[in-house]
Amino acid sequence: MQERNIVVTDRNKKMGEKTMKILIIGGVAAGTKTAAKLKREDRSAEVTVITKDRDISYAGCGLPYYVGGLIENREELIVNTPAKYAGLTGVEVKTGKEAIALCADKKEVIVKDVETGAEEAYGYDKLVLTVGASPAKLPIEGTDLSGVFQMRTPDDAENIRSYVEENQVKKAVVIGAGFIGLEVAENLKAKGIQVTVIDFASQILPNIVDAEVAVYAKKHLLKEGIRVITGTKADAIMGNDHVTGVKTSAGLLRCELLIMAAGIRPNTDFLQDSGLEMFKGTILVDKTMKTNLEDVYAAGDCVMVTNRITGKPQWSPMGSSANLEGRTLAQVLTGTKKEYPGVLGTGVVKLPNLNIGRTGLTEEQAKNAGYDVVTVVAPTDDKAHYYPDAGFFITKLIADRESHKLLGVQVLGNGAVDKMVDIAVMGINMGAVLEDFENADFAYAPPFSTAIHPFVQAVYILLNKINGNLVSMTPAEYAAGKAKDYKVVDVGLTPSIRGAVYVNLSQVNGEIEGLDKEEKLLLVCAKGKRGYFLQNRLRSYGYKNTVVLEGAQFFNDVKVQHAENAVSPEEETRVKALGFLRDKTTLDKFNGRVITRNGKITADEARTIAEAAELFGSGEVTMTSRLTMEIQGVPFDNIEPLREYLMQAGLETGGTGSKVRPVVSCKGTTCQYGLIDTFGLSEEIHERFFHGYANVKLPHKFKIAVGGCPNNCVKPDLNDLGIIGQRIPQVDMEKCRGCKICRVEKNCPINVAKVVDGKIVIDENSCNHCGRCIGKCPFNAFEDYTNGYRIYIGGRWGKKVAQGRYLEKVFTDKEEVLSVVEKAILLFREQGITGERFADTVARIGFENVQEQLLGDELLSRKEENIKAQKHLKGGATC
């Protein structure tokens, strides 16, 4: 070790002194938990916590939600301040102190003051290393650019949130599709930012869930508007002073914000020459959390513990296990005979409208551990199906075929997936086999669960599979092409699989005409139950080769090869909601509407649309009157592949149904007459109301147009709501000379500017505020002006035409304009009658009434109950 100028503090243990001096390096989860429990177990212990950061005991797992605004104040993330923690526990806390070397032979840690650089040696009787881990810094150019962040501390979260607000960030890229990366993506999306997540692995949540579960979750994220690209490497971060994009193996991804969440690495570099036994940066410990060095222990994100099922080493950097390890270690240090039993890798993540939880081994991990693995994928209700807000669980159970021992679980759902995971955790901890769950008396009431608990239902299905009562095909096997030689049998309540043989379960009382007893039959229903019932019935009638598809249509994209029959009305309605309208000259071809936000797309997006048209459609693209691009001639079976192809590029289909429609915009300030940035405003409206209100049903379609001037190119006054740029002249009458030929009068396009009695006069009630008069007076009487917005409501064209009327106020604040847009949508939902257009609503309740509501705040105060109300379930739009 190099020579250092060191001040030695009076912390070395003296002969005969009974007080145990414990030094803890690191003050977040494991460190503070160890210290607090130590003082509770032994008040005489002298416990000191040293940490480099100014914060201790902060909620690292809550950081993404602070960025998204769900957690409003930074203080809410700080569980304890150093002073408060010291007062509660009696632990001495020293912040701003960085451990830089361990001298185990001297029982000293060399510590540097981060502000002054001064070094000193801290002695100890027992040393606890809880140094945690930090985000891995990518070895690429550009990581130091402004707008590039990591996500580990409250300072990181605060800096990201400030940067987003100060720079009005519109596009972000998150590198890393693990828990933190996906949580950050969700919260950025909630702030109206377009988010792309990339990961070098072939799936999201690598080593956390199995591939088929990851595929389902990825498709869900794409549908929610979060672009996800897997199998993609970041090569360089682009920009001069600030980030402008990321160069990847999938091309250039433009962004104004980049979050690096591609894994973490233990903060153990300073321990490399200490003699400490480590593996890939993690500290190796035994079951008492002791290292190979005398009186040196470790816990938390920096240690390698054991897997509770396999007994093999596992790195599991989670806040939950860090706390458990710290508590156990404190008891060990104070003389309790106790061991830390290891981890299961339990985790849960919240995504937009989907939660994912897991514990134990994945299928792949279980196979690698030598188990004879058997699995099942089981969709179930999460509570009584008739109860309001009932949702679903998709549960994958992993077990050992011979012993029936439960090895792992993965659960997806829009509700409490954690309770499903927690049942599995307790079962695995107790060494449970599947039969132990068969008659488990779990809590039941319609608001909470189903009569037979969803976990128990999944166990029943897996036991049926093991016992041979159920012969099934897993989603992974189906995706790999195992069903190639099978005839698909649709066992749904109604026919829903195009090209499949439909069988009405309730009418099966013997052999089925058209189904051979020897041929391979794949039985598919909505969730799997009816398929199992049919298999059971067919078996008694001599059918030998029936297989039920696990997860059924709920989890799998089921297609019949070479299906040529017409699309059912139900399927036609379903894909219409996705933006695909059937070409009436064909049986199964559709025209898919690609949303362009406001009629403006990038060259990359245009190329993607053209490629998609060639790959999945006829190769032709048309423009609609709403400035969406429509890919022509898409066969029904190509709809989902086309949508996924577009979503990978950040594009989406849609623009139909009784909801807020895509915004149309003129060219705004790129036109010689444009007064406002229509592209910018319409993009904000698109994010706030087309996306933000995507799931809100209205009485009918609601169309919005933004025009840059009163020339009315995109007909704002013939939309349900229209916004027109205004330029209001501020006339300086003292400068008016009353010219015989007035240039202002001559240039007024609608002839409302008149010279009367030697002075220019403009009729305010007739002026349309086009701004053409500005700068025309040679004596500068028309130099000053105010930019603003005029809002029209109640227009429409089509079968019936209605001219919209403008609100009496000319708005000068863009946020106020956006607020009026939202209030108009809320008013239409609350007071409109299903099937009527907004123009009808305005006419029925009166323009003055509507105007008064739009200029007030009552509609916003009722927003939450309005959105939650079960209204307009059908809607009136037919296209």
Q: Cα angle at 522 between 520 and 524, to 5 degrees?
A: 165
Measuring CA to CA, which residue among 256, 255, 251 is closest to residue 607?
A: 251
- Of 719, 685, 684, nearest in space to 703 by CA: 719
Nearest to 38 by CA among 83, 82, 89, 80: 89
Q: For the purposes of burial, counting CB atoms within 10 Å of the CB of 136, is it exposed (0-12), middle (13-18) or buried (19 or more)?
A: middle
Residue among 448, 452, 416 nearest 437 (CA): 452
DSSP 8-state code for residue 690: I
The C-alpha atoms of residue 703 and residue 623 are separated, in whole angstroms, by: 17
Q: Outline where 430-568 has alpha helix (H).
A: 454-467, 475-479, 529-540, 552-555
Q: Are 415 and 351 in contact (CB under 8 A)?
A: no
> 559: phi > 0 → left, psi -120 to 50 → alpha, else beta; which?
beta
How far apart are alpha carbons 642 and 653 in whole angstroms? 9
The closest alpha carbon to 524, from 545, 551, 506, belongs to 551
Q: Which H or E element spans position 753?
A: strand 753-756
Separation CA 772–CA 743 (nearest Å): 11
Query: Which one from 61, 103, 671, 767 is the annotated catalytic residue?
Result: 61
The answer to whether 525 and 531 are in contact (CB under 8 A) is yes
* 61 noted as active-site residue: yes
Assigned token pair, 152: 């580990």
Kindly give the pairing relationship between strand 784-793 and strand 805-806: antiparallel
Distance, in Å, from the CA atom of 393 to the CA atom of 528, rounded to the nearest integer, reads: 13
For the CA atoms of 832, 836, 841, 844, what is the dihedral angle to 10 degrees? -110
Instruction: Find out whether 274 and 262 touch, Cβ atoms under 8 Å.
Output: no
Q: Are strands 194-199 and 227-230 parallel, antiparallel or unpaired?
A: parallel
Q: For residue 279, how far is the Cα from the chain centroid?
A: 34
Distance, CA of 849 to CA of 5 (rounded, Å): 80
Question: Distance between CA atoms of 113 and 97, rounded to whole angstroms?
Answer: 5
Q: Give the residue numbers marked as catalytic.
A: 61
